Structure 1
Amino acid sequence: MSFATLKLSPLILNAIDDLGYSKPTAIQSKAIPVVLSGKDIIAAAQTGTGKTASFVLPLLQQINTRYKETNQKLRGKRVRALILVPTRELAVQVETSIADYGKYLSIRSMAMYGGVDIDAQKQRLIWGVDIVVATPGRLLDMIHQRALHFDELDMLVLDEADRMLDMGFIDDINKIIERLPEQRQNLLFSATMSEAVRGLAKRTIHKPVEITTDADKANKPKIQQWLVTVDKTDKSALLSHLIKELTWQQALIFIETKHGAAKLVSQLEKRGIAAESIHSGRTQDIRERILSDFKSGDIKFLVATGIAARGLDIGDLSRVVNYDLPSKVDDYIHRIGRTGRAGAEGEAVSLVSKDNFRELCAIESRLGHIIERKEVTEFPVKKAVPISVLNFQPKNAPSKGNTGKGSESKREQAKYSKPNNRGANQGRKSHVRQTDEPKYKSPWPVKL
């Protein structure tokens, strides 16, 4: 299938061709025809699958068609389409995609978010904007100040709906929806379909077409995942060691707190590794500048808190590092989704200490397999990280070569739970090598 078969206009196809895209991804081929038909949709799609284009392309097509049919012109403060997103970074990214795909169309868009001058955004609305990509908080501020009107709005898009609910935007979203025309097309995109997301969909969307690409293995990102077990106090030293020994040229490094991000940047710089950080404590202008420098390659190593986990589209990002494992499994999925995008290969490396074992079990249970473990001989582990119980069969589920009493399974778990003390190797040349894989894989999920 090609983009031309999706009945997109020649001007949009020219823009797609300029970007170097030859054929649609699974979510695009499924969603675009439904959106063009005018139906509401609920779509479940993982990050890195081309989700943004699946609603931006038909949205541009519909607005352009209506302008041709009615011979209308832009009217200040009257918005045709509204796209709600959870973060500033995602707002900027989506609006950039609109500009790229609509470069040959006379359609105007803007990203609306907090942390920047609100008067400048008001002026943009006065000049006339067809599509607004907004975070809920700043949009409500604009609504209360009567800076924009929705009486001509035709389409609402809820992008990364699960993330917006996780961030506590449900009340803001409901207040916004109450002000929209009842007759509109609704599109909801979410990486996960929790009960909260389905509840939002039930209140917002009418007789939707449900689309999912989770089972489409051919379109899954090509990400090599591996981890190194390490004592918590050695994490920053190990990270520096990996960067130097494996000659990493670039990495997006995820950490849990903004204080930890600043500390890690300082530790890396003391070891001769230049790095920067983005987190909620930095102004929007600084965050945008740092992200721009990271995308261009001027910054090689970027330490980021959760604000960067979604919405960032960094071309050819070869590697992400989980310095801290996230407390939520979905966050792990979205973090590693920053690499291996658009069919490219990527690498996801995690530094795991013993106090991360609970999070590791949950992640491996979701993945359905054990993450490959490697060891660094210069960093012997004093507090060993056990192998996830996902790998060990229960007593009542014997496998080939197992007596059914679980004795061999226990011996295997004990073997891999021993501390990895390799003091005798400290004088040898440092290297990273893969540890042995455990023998058993249980069909039973981990219960936490």
Structure 2
Amino acid sequence: MTDSTFASLGLSEPLARACVQAGFAQPTAIQQQAIPAVLAGQDLLGLAPTGSGKTAAFALPLLQRLAAESRGWRRTVRVLVLVPTRELAAQVGEVFRSLGHALPAPLKVAVLYGGVSVNPQMMGLRGGADVVVATPGRLLDLLERNALDISRVETLVLDEADRLLDLGFSEELQRVLQELPARRQNLLFSATFAGGVQALAGGLLHDAVRIEAAAPELEQPAIVQRVVEVDAARRTELLRHLVRQERWRRALVFVATRYATEHLARKLCDAGIPAAPLHGEMSQGGRTEVLDAFKAGRTDVLVTTDLAARGIDIPALEVVVNYDLPRSPTHYVHRIGRTGRAGAPGLAVSFVSADTDAHFRLIASRQHLSLPREQVPGFEPVETAAPVAEKGVGGIKGKRPSKKDKLRAAAAAAARRAGPG
């Protein structure tokens, strides 16, 4: 199916033309498999990483079905898409709206999320909506206010189901499911198939088509991955050097905590580098303002937590920097997937220090990466990694650290990583 076109998958001429106008050269792997299944009304389980084109994979066929089955003057919610974050809600809603412009009759798309006043969203729901994209908490809030009715939903989409569960939305999901009609199409997309996702899929899907899309980020030759060895206390200094030396004008820098986003952004600004923090405790208005400034080029560096690792599309993002390493190999994939989008060149740089060396080796092993280490002149590390215990050996008897020792070591490592800047 590598030579298929959007029209050959069963999409109407207006939608196929909209794909070309949106810059989609040809269907991605998940789109080739998902579009015909969704058009046929089948349930679907899609294991798809970021950057695989999954949003269009369900938006395109659902738009076609909505357009073909126009219902009366009053709109009823026929498609419900649940997502874990505000940013992803806004992005999915924009995909529906932009592709939906190609249809002869306009469809109404409502995007609902918390962190902002509920009143404008209630006003926007007057007259109904064809498609609702929502985070679970805000959806339940609006249901309690009788602002919308989801009892006639024809298709439920759970986008990034693993994150919905990770962020503790299990109870909310069950409450939403109780409000939905028993007969409906269910589409579940997830980057992983962990235990919680398996249980959710087992209770939700019926005779589902299963699709697995490979991770294009690691197969994409346009993304150059670099590993730079540096002492933890000198990472800020090295980052300033690289931004200037390599003339980065749009860099997304990942750190581990909210405090680190603000601390590092402030250090960069003090050095004359336009930078801003982005984290989950900011208001929605603040997050939108920061993202808009970064996308418009008014900010060179955006320092963020894993909030921005998924569901945020930043066009022409030059470089991703793992200032703090991600918690898992999966998070590594999602982070570097922010760059090199749509075939554009990208760069992913990971800082590795003595106390994170073993963790990065684990990431590289799990992702089958063989990346050379490099050192930047003037920033050669002096710290050395602790020796790795032999496999199957639990350490020296009597020398194992206690729980308190481990906590002290973790606190000391965090202090070294924060450094004086």
Q: CA deviation at 1:17?
A: 2.3
Structure 1: runs of 5+ lacking an equivalent: 395-448
Q: CA deviation at 1:388?
A: 9.3
Q: CA deviation at 1:343?
A: 2.1
| Equivalences for residues 156-167 of structure 1 within 5 A | 156-167=156-167
Structure-2 separation of matches of 1:205 and 1:100: 29
Q: CA deviation at 1:296?
A: 2.0
The structure number with the bigger radius of gyration is 1
- Tell me what 1:288 maps to: 288
Q: CA deviation at 1:221?
A: 6.7
The answer on whether the counterparts of 2:232 and 2:353 sit within 8 Å (CA) in structure 1 is yes
- Tell me what 1:86 maps to: 84
Q: Secondary structure at the match of 2:162?
A: helix
The answer on whether the counterparts of 1:250 and 1:317 sit within 8 Å (CA) in structure 2 is yes
- Tell me what 2:142 maps to: 142
Q: Secondary structure at the match of 1:350?
A: strand
Q: CA RMSD in A?
A: 2.2
The question of 1:15 aligning with 2:18 is answered yes
Deviation per CA, 1:327-384: give whole Å up to 9, x if none: 2322211111111122222111011222223431331122112333110120121213
The answer on whether the counterparts of 1:221 and 1:337 sit within 8 Å (CA) in structure 2 is no
- Tell me what 1:44 maps to: 47
- Tell me what 1:369 maps to: 369
Runs of 4+ in 1 over 3 A off after TM superposition: 215-222, 385-389
Q: CA deviation at 1:134?
A: 0.6
Structure 2: runs of 5+ lacking an equivalent: 393-421
Q: Secondary structure at the match of 2:126?
A: helix
Q: CA deviation at 1:55?
A: 0.5
Structure-2 separation of matches of 1:354 and 1:297: 34
Q: Secondary structure at the match of 1:381?
A: coil
Q: Secondary structure at the match of 1:334?
A: helix
- Residue 34 of structure 2 aligns with an amino acid whose one-letter code is A
- Residue 183 of structure 2 aligns with an amino acid whose one-letter code is Q
| Equivalences for residues 3-402 of structure 1 within 5 A | 3-67=6-70, 71-75=71-75, 78-105=76-103, 106-214=106-214, 220=220, 222-385=222-385
Aligned residues: 387
Q: How has the CA–CA distance of structure 1 residues 23 and 119 changed in structure 2, closer, same or farther, with 3 Å as cutoff?
A: same
Deviation per CA, 1:195-232: give whole Å up to 9, x if none: 21111111111111100122889974742211111111
Structure-2 separation of matches of 1:159 and 1:311: 10
Q: Secondary structure at the match of 2:36?
A: helix
- Residue 18 of structure 2 aligns with an amino acid whose one-letter code is A
The answer on whether the counterparts of 1:85 and 1:158 sit within 8 Å (CA) in structure 2 is yes
Q: CA deviation at 1:133?
A: 0.7
Deviation per CA, 1:230-256: give whole Å up to 9, x if none: 111111001001111122221011111
Structure-2 separation of matches of 1:317 and 1:62: 34
Structure-1 separation of matches of 2:64 and 2:175: 28
Q: Which deviates further from its counterpart, 378-387 or 256-265?
A: 378-387
State, as a whole percentage, how many aligned pairs show the same letter.
43
- Residue 89 of structure 1 aligns with an amino acid whose one-letter code is E
The answer on whether the counterparts of 1:40 and 1:206 sit within 8 Å (CA) in structure 2 is yes
Q: CA deviation at 1:74?
A: 3.2
Q: How has the CA–CA distance of structure 1 residues 19 and 388 changed in structure 2, closer, same or farther, with 3 Å as cutoff?
A: farther
Deviation per CA, 1:413-436: give whole Å up to 9, x if none: xxxxxxxxxxxxxxxxxxxxxxxx
Structure-1 separation of matches of 2:325 and 2:73: 50
Structure-2 separation of matches of 1:154 and 1:101: 20
Q: How has the CA–CA distance of structure 1 residues 226 and 269 changed in structure 2, closer, same or farther, with 3 Å as cutoff?
A: same
The answer on whether the counterparts of 2:31 and 2:53 sit within 8 Å (CA) in structure 1 is yes
The answer on whether the counterparts of 2:51 and 2:217 sit within 8 Å (CA) in structure 1 is no
- Residue 122 of structure 2 aligns with an amino acid whose one-letter code is K
Structure-2 separation of matches of 1:364 and 1:65: 48
Q: CA deviation at 1:387?
A: 10
- Tell me what 1:443 maps to: none
| Equivalences for residues 397-416 of structure 1 within 5 A | none
Q: Which deviates further from its counterpart, 24-33 or 139-148?
A: 139-148
Structure-2 separation of matches of 1:215 and 1:256: 23
The answer on whether the counterparts of 2:52 and 2:216 sit within 8 Å (CA) in structure 1 is no
Structure-2 separation of matches of 1:210 and 1:303: 36
- Residue 308 of structure 1 aligns with an amino acid whose one-letter code is A
The answer on whether the counterparts of 2:186 and 2:204 sit within 8 Å (CA) in structure 1 is yes
Q: How has the CA–CA distance of structure 1 residues 218 and 169 changed in structure 2, closer, same or farther, with 3 Å as cutoff?
A: closer
